[in-house]
C-alpha cells in the first residue's frame, strides 16, 4: 500500500467514529501510538480504537459482499488512500465521504466507481457493547484474556499428553511379551519385529513430547507479550493516589509476574496435565497384573495426603517470602535513588541493616519453603520405592500361585514407577503453584486500582482550552489520616491572567499546582477548566494544553532533544531551538559537542539542578500551551540567568496566556499581576501584586527579596 498521510487517516477515523457512538479526538488516536509521527499506521489506529472501547478489525474484503449492518467502514482504495463508506443505499449505490477531497458531505457513489470497485482493504469498527448494556465497557481481564484465544493450543497439549501416555505403555508391555513369550520360545524373529515396533513408538513419543513443549512455549510467548504490555500500561496509568510512593514494592510485584508466567508455560503445567493419566497406568496394571494394582492405588492417596497437608504451610511461607522480597526490593530502590545523600549523611548503616534484615527474613521464609517442599518430595520418593518393593513382594506370591506371569510382574513394576513419577513432582509443582497464586493475586489487586483514564469512559474532548481555572469549594487530603491539606479553596483565574501563589513551606502551594494539572483530584469540590469539571476532560487534552514545570524536575534517559520534546508530535527543530532559547536550555546544547543530541542519563543524573530547570521550562513551552503552571521554576538558577529567563518568559506569555506560578522569589513576581497567599491550606490573601508588596514591606513574611 502507498503510505498515506497520518492526518488523512486520522481525519477519516474521526469522521467514522463520529458516525458511530462517540467521536474520538486526535488525542485518542495518539494515546496508544508507539512510533514516530509520520508513520501512523492502520495497526496503530486499531489499537487506538480498541483502547477507546471500540471493536476494530482490519482485513481484506469486498465491499459489495459486506453485510449492510457492518457499515460504516473505512475503505482503502488501490492506492491505499482511505475513504469512508457510511452505508449501502441499495444493491449498487453507496453513501461515501471522502475527507481528502476536502468535503465532508456524504455523496452517493455507484458500485462501478473505480475507487469503490478496486477497494480491497477494509477497516471495520463497531461498538463493543450492545445497545442497552452498560455504557462503560469493561476491559478484558489482564491475565485470562491473553489465554482466551489459546483454547486450541491447550487442547493440543492435553491431546499430546494422552497420546504420549499411551505410548508410554509400550516399553512395559514389550518387557512383558519378551519375558512371557520370546524368552521361553527363543523367538528371535518376533523379537526383531517387536523391537522395530517399539522403536517407532518411542520415536513418535519423542516427537510428540517436543511438539508439546513447542505448544506450551508458543502459548506462553503470546501471553507474555500481551500481559507484559498491559502491566506496564497499568503502571503508568495508575493514579498518583493509588501509588502511595511505594515504587520498590510495585517493581517487586511486577517482577513476580515471571513466576506466574513460568507456571503457565513450563514443566509444572506438564506435570499437572500428566497427573490424571496415572489412573490409566493403574488401570493397565489391573489389567495385566490383577490385584497388584492395589499397591500403587494405595500409594497415591498417601502421597496426595502428604502433599495436601503441606499446603497451608507452603502457602503461608510463600506469601511471607513474597512480602520479604518486596521489602528487599524497596530497600534496594531507595538506596540507589538516594545514594548521594546516603553517602554524605553517613546513612549507610541504616540502609545496610535494613537490607540485611530483609535478606535474612527472605532467606528464612524461602528456606522454610524449600525444606518443606523437599521433605514432601523425599516422602513421595520413599513411598514410591516402598511401592516397588511391595509389588515385587506381593507379586512373587501371585506368580507362585500362577495368577500372573513373570512378565506381567516386571511390567507392573515398570508401570507403577511411571504412574508414581508425576506424583513425586507434585510437591514441587504445589510450591510453585502457591508462589504463582500469590503473585497473581498481588498483580490482580494492582490491576484493579484506579487509573488516570478509565477504560471505555467517554471524556470531554477540548482540543484547546482557553485558560480559565476555577476551584470551587476544594478540599483535599493525600491521606485521610493526615487531615486536610487544602481546606475549602475557592478561586477563579481568568484566561490570560498571571497569578502567583505564595505561602510558607508546607502550606499546600505545590498541591494546588498538582490539582490544576490533574495529578490528584479533590476529595470534595471541583477543579474546573474553562468551566468544565477537570475530572471529565480528556487527560490527553489537559496535558497538551497545560505546560508544567514541577517542583522537582525529572529528566529521563535519552537525548536533550527527546527530553524537551517528550510526548509531543510534529515538533520542528526551529520550535525546539526557539523554546530552548527562551529557557536558556540552548546554552547546555551549545556547550556540548553533540548539541541537542547530548545524552542525558537516567533521572537526569549528570545535569545540574539549574540546568534541569531550564530543560523543564523548555519542555513546558513546547507546543505553546495556553496555560503554564510552574512550581518554583528558577530555584536552582543564578540571578543573571533567572533575569534573562524571566524576560524571555514575559514575551512568550504575552497577554493571552494564563500563568500560575508557585514561588518564593520576589524577582519572579514581575511575571504576575495577581497574588494569592496560602497559609495552612487556606487562602489568606487574594489581590493585586502592588498591594501585597506594600503590605509586606515593613515585615516581610511571605515574600523575601531573592
Ligand atoms: P508547599 O506549599 O511547600 O509546596 P505542598 O503542597 O508540597 O507544600 O505540601 C503540603 C502538605 O502536604 C505538606 O504538609 C506535606 O507534608 C503534604 N504532602 C505533600 N505531598 C504529599 C504526598 N505525596 N503524600 C502525602 N502528603 C504530602
Ligand atoms: Mg512546594
Q: What is the pLDDT of residues 341-396, one digit of tens each?
A: 888 998 889 999 999 999 999 899 888 888 888 888 888 888 888 988 998 999 89
Q: Which residue has the cell 528487599?
A: 328
**Interacting residues of 252 by C-beta distance below 8 A, sequence separation 6+:** 325, 326, 328, 329, 330
Q: How confident is the model over 568-588, as a mean pLDDT?
A: 89
Q: Using CA positions, which residue lies closest to atom 8 of ligand 1?
A: 506
At 403 the three-state DSSP class reads: coil
CATH number for position 263: 1.20.1560.10
- Residue 553 CA to ligand 2 center (angstroms) comes to 12
Q: How confident is the model over 155-179, as a mean pLDDT?
A: 84
- Residue 510 CA to ligand 1 center (angstroms) comes to 7
* Cβ(156) – ligand 1 distance below 6 Å: no
Same domain? For 423 and 483 the reply is no
Set of cell numbers at residue 467: 485558560
Q: What percent of the chain has pLDDT over 70?
A: 95
Q: Which residue has the cell 487527560?
A: 539
- Residue 703 CA to ligand 1 center (angstroms) comes to 20
Same domain? For 160 and 37 the reply is no
Per the domain annotation, does 235 fall within a domain?
yes
Burial 354-371 (b: 16+ CB within 10 A, else e): bbeebeebbeebbebbee
Same domain? For 568 and 633 the reply is yes
* Cβ(507) – ligand 1 distance below 6 Å: yes
- Residue 678 CA to ligand 1 center (angstroms) comes to 13
Same domain? For 47 and 183 the reply is no
The domain in which residue 524 lies consists of 469-705
Same domain? For 315 and 221 the reply is yes
Ligand 1 pocket test, candidate residues 476, 478, 552, most atoms within 8 A of CB? 478
* Cβ(485) – ligand 1 distance below 6 Å: yes
Q: How confident is the model over 320-334, as a mean pLDDT?
A: 88
- Ligand 1 atom nearest to CA at 509: 2
Residue 420's H or E segment, with its range, is helix 406-448
Q: Distance of alpha carbon 180 from its chain centroid, rounded?
A: 62
Closest CA to 168 of 268, 271, 280: 280
Q: Using CA positions, which residue lies closest to atom 16 of ligand 1?
A: 506
Residue 677's H or E segment, with its range, is strand 674-679
Closest CA to 29 of 50, 57, 3, 60: 50
Per the domain annotation, does 137 fall within a domain?
no
Last residue of a domain, one of 394, 413, 447: 447
pLDDT of residue 131: 46
Has residue 127 got a pLDDT over 90?
no
CATH number for position 581: 3.40.50.300
Question: Rounded to whole angstroms, how far apart are CA atoms 675 and 685?
Answer: 8
CATH number for position 63: 3.90.70.10
Q: How confident is the model over 100-112, as a mean pLDDT?
A: 76
**Total domains in the fold of the chain:** 3
Question: Rounded to whole angstroms, how far apart are CA atoms 580 and 76?
Answer: 41
Same domain? For 525 and 605 the reply is yes
- Residue 1, CA distances (Å) to 98, 342, 595 in order: 18, 57, 38
Same domain? For 123 and 149 the reply is no
* Cβ(478) – ligand 1 distance below 6 Å: yes
Per the domain annotation, does 458 fall within a domain?
no
Which residue has better confidence, 294 or 617? 617
Residue 389: how many other CB atoms lie within 10 Å: 11
pLDDT of residue 1: 47
Question: What is the per-residue DSSP string for 577-624?
Answer: HHHHHHHTTHHHHHHSTTGGG-EE-GGGTTS-HHHHHHHHHHHHHTT-
Question: Rounded to whole angstroms, how far apart are CA atoms 359 and 342?
Answer: 20
Contact 217, 265 (CB under 8 A): yes
Same domain? For 119 and 63 the reply is yes
Per the domain annotation, does 400 fall within a domain?
yes
- Residue 268 CA to ligand 2 center (angstroms) comes to 52
Per the domain annotation, does 105 fall within a domain?
yes
Same domain? For 109 and 157 the reply is no
Rg over CA atoms, the chain:
35
Question: Rounded to whole angstroms, how far apart are CA atoms 69 and 704?
Answer: 69
Last residue of a domain, one of 76, 96, 127: 127
Ligand 1 pocket test, candidate residues 484, 507, 629, most atoms within 8 A of CB? 507
Last residue of a domain, one of 127, 152, 176: 127
pLDDT of residue 132: 44
- Residue 552 CA to ligand 1 center (angstroms) comes to 13
Burial class of residue 685 (count of CB atoms within 10 Å of its CB; 0-12, 13-18, 19+): middle
Q: Using CA positions, which residue lies closest to atom 23 of ligand 1?
A: 478
Q: What is the pLDDT of residues 418-434, one digit of tens each?
A: 888 877 777 778 888 88
Same domain? For 640 and 673 the reply is yes
Give the confidence band of 38 by pLDDT, cuts at 50, 70, 90.
low
Question: Rounded to whole angstroms, how far apart are CA atoms 283 and 288?
Answer: 9
Set of cell numbers at residue 93: 449505490
Has residue 51 got a pLDDT over 90?
no
- Residue 558 CA to ligand 1 center (angstroms) comes to 30
* Cβ(509) – ligand 1 distance below 6 Å: yes
Same domain? For 593 and 692 the reply is yes
Same domain? For 423 and 499 the reply is no
Contact 477, 448 (CB under 8 A): no
The DSSP output letter for 414 is: H
Question: Rounded to whole angstroms, how far apart are CA atoms 182 and 630?
Answer: 92
Per the domain annotation, does 133 fall within a domain?
no
Closest CA to 289 of 184, 191, 390: 390
Question: Rounded to whole angstroms, how far apart are CA atoms 328 and 321?
Answer: 10
Contact 553, 510 (CB under 8 A): no
* Cβ(511) – ligand 1 distance below 6 Å: yes
At residue 37, φ and ψ (nearest 5 deg) are -60, -35
Q: Which residue has the cell 492502520?
A: 42
Per the domain annotation, does 435 fall within a domain?
yes
Per the domain annotation, does 568 fall within a domain?
yes
- Residue 511 CA to ligand 1 center (angstroms) comes to 6
Give the confidence band of 411 by pLDDT, cuts at 50, 70, 90.
confident
Amino acid at each position: 500500500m502507498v503510505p498515506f498521510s497520518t492526518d488523512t487517516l486520522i481525519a477519516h477515523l474521526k469522521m467514522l467514529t463520529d458516525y458511530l457512538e462517540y467521536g474520538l479526538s486526535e488525542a485518542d488516536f495518539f494515546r496508544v501510538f508507539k512510533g514516530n509521527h509520520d508513520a501512523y499506521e492502520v495497526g496503530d489506529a486499531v489499537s487506538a480504537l480498541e483502547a477507546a472501547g471500540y471493536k476494530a478489525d482490519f482485513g481484506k474484503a469486498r465491499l459489495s459482499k459486506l453485510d449492510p449492518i457492518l457499515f460504516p467502514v473505512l475503505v482503502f482504495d488501490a492506492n491505499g488512500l482511505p475513504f469512508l463508506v457510511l452505508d449501502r443505499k441499495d444493491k449498487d449505490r453507496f453513501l461515501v465521504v471522502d475527507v481528502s477531497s476536502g468535503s465532508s458531505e456524504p455523496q452517493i457513489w455507484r458500485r462501478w466507481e473505480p475507487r469503490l470497485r478496486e477497494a480491497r482493504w477494509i477497516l471495520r469498527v463497531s461498538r463493543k457493547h450492545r445497545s442497552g448494556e452498560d455504557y462503560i465497557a469493561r476491559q478484558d481481564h489482564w491475565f485470562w484474556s491473553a489465554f482466551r484465544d489459546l483454547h486450541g493450543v491447550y487442547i493440543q497439549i492435553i491431546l499430546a499428553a494422552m497420546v504420549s501416555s499411551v505410548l508410554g505403555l509400550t516399553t512395559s508391555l514389550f518387557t512383558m511379551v519378551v519375558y512371557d513369550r520370546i524368552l521361553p520360545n527363543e523367538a528371535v524373529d518376533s523379537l526383531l519385529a517387536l523391537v522395530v515396533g517399539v522403536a517407532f513408538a518411542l520415536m513418535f513419543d519423542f516427537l510428540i513430547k517436543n511438539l508439546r513443549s513447542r505448544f506450551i512455549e508458543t502459548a506462553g510467548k503470546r501471553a507474555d507479550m500481551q500481559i507484559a504490555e498491559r502491566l506496564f500500561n497499568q503502571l503508568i496509568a495508575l493514579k498518583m493516589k493509588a501509588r502511595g510512593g511505594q515504587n520498590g514494592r510495585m517493581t517487586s510485584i511486577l517482577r513476580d509476574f515471571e513466576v506466574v508466567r513460568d507456571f503457565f508455560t513450563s514443566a509444572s503445567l506438564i506435570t499437572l496435565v500428566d497427573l490424571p493419566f496415572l489412573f490409566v497406568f493403574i488401570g493397565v496394571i489391573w489389567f495385566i497384573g490383577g490385584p497388584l494394582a492395589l499397591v500403587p492405588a494405595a500409594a497415591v492417596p498417601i502421597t496426595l495426603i502428604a502433599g495436601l497437608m503441606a499446603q497451608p504451610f507452603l502457602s503461608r511461607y510463600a506469601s511471607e517470602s513474597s512480602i520479604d522480597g518486596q521489602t528487599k526490593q524497596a530497600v534496594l530502590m531507595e538506596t540507589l535513588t538516594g545514594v548521594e545523600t546516603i553517602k554524605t549523611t553517613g546513612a549507610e548503616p541504616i540502609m545496610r541493616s535494613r537490607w540485611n534484615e530483609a535478606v535474612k527474613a527472605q532467606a528464612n521464609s524461602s528456606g522454610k519453603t524449600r525444606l518443606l517442599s523437599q521433605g514432601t518430595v523425599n516422602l513421595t520418593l520413599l513411598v514410591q520405592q516402598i511401592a516397588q518393593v511391595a509389588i515385587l513382594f506381593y507379586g512373587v506370591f501371585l506368580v507362585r500361585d500362577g495368577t500372573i506371569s513373570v512378565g506381567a510382574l516386571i511390567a507392573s513394576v515398570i508401570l507403577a514407577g511411571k504412574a508414581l513419577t508425576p506424583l513425586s513432582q507434585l510437591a514441587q509443582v504445589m510450591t510453585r503453584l502457591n508462589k504463582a497464586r500469590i503473585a497473581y493475586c498481588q498483580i490482580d489487586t494492582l490491576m484493579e486500582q484506579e487509573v488516570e483514564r478509565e477504560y471505555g469512559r467517554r471524556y470531554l474532548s477540548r482540543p484547546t482550552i482557553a485558560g480559565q481555572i476555577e476551584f470551587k469549594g476544594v478540599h483535599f487530603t493525600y491521606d485521610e489520616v493526615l487531615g486536610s491539606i487544602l481546606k475549602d479553596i475557592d478561586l477563579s483565574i481568568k484566561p490570560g491572567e498571571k497569578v502567583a501563589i505564595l505561602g510558607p513551606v508546607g502550606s499546600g502551594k505545590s498541591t494546588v499546582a498538582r490539582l490544576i494539572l490533574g495529578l490528584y483530584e479533590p476529595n470534595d469540590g471541583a477543579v474546573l477548566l474553562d468551566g468544565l469539571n477537570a475530572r471529565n476532560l480528556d487527560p490527553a487534552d489537559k496535558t497538551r494544553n497545560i505546560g508544567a514545570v514541577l517542583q522537582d524536575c525529572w529528566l529521563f534517559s535519552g537525548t536533550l532533544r527527546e527530553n524537551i520534546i517528550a510526548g509531543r508530535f510534529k515538533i520542528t527543530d526551529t520550535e525546539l531551538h526557539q523554546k530552548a532559547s527562551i529557557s536558556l536550555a540552548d546554552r547546555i546544547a551549545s556547550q556540548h559537542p553533540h548539541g541537542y543530541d547530548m545524552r542525558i542519563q537516567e533521572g537526569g543524573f549528570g545535569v545540574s539542578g539549574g540546568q534541569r530547570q531550564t530543560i523543564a521550562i523548555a519542555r513546558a513551552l513546547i507546543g505553546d500551551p495556553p496555560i503554564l503552571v510552574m512550581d518554583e521554576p528558577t530555584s536552582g538558577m543564578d540571578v543573571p540567568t533567572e533575569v534573562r529567563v524571566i524576560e524571555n518568559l514575559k514575551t512568550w506569555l504575552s497577554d493571552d496566556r494564563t500563568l500560575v506560578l508557585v514561588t518564593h522569589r520576589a524577582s519572579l513576581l514581575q511575571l504576575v499581576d495577581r497574588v494569592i497567599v496560602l497559609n495552612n491550606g487556606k487562602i489568606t490573601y487574594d489581590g493585586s501584586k502592588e498591594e501585597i508588596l506594600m503590605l509586606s514591606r515593613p515585615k516581610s513574611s511571605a515574600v523575601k527579596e531573592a
